[in-house]
Structure 1
């Protein structure tokens, strides 16, 4: 593909379709990451206290963000 993810069509309609698809893919990736982060937190919280290295604190969980996860590269770096 020659455009390699760039928005190079002059028509607004073509760009809207590409941006819509990009938004859909980003939303799906955020949902997938959020569900897996939640499952990881629940798994850690389910461990007996003597098997945990640290407690999983609510304030730490509140700082989790799927957008700061390694599988999402929204800055294209």
Structure 2
């Protein structure tokens, strides 16, 4: 199982930048880790870091909740 890429990337021009990544339980999507930030609070230099943290959180949830082996994307 490969964790899906960030569904909506942070962009400075979005009214409310957001990032969402699904997590899986035994190969079935069961939820998503989502972050939304008011544009005036989002530091564009940290958008890649924020997206990476969201992906890592989704990957961790998948590992914690699944009973089947999970292959992780790098």
Q: Which interval holds the TM-score relative to the shorter structure?
A: 0.3 to 0.5
TM-score by length of 1: 0.33
Higher relative CO (Cα under 8 Å, sequence separation at least 6) belongs to 2
TM-score by length of 2: 0.34
Larger Rg: 1
Greater per-residue helix proportion? 1
Greater per-residue strand proportion? 2
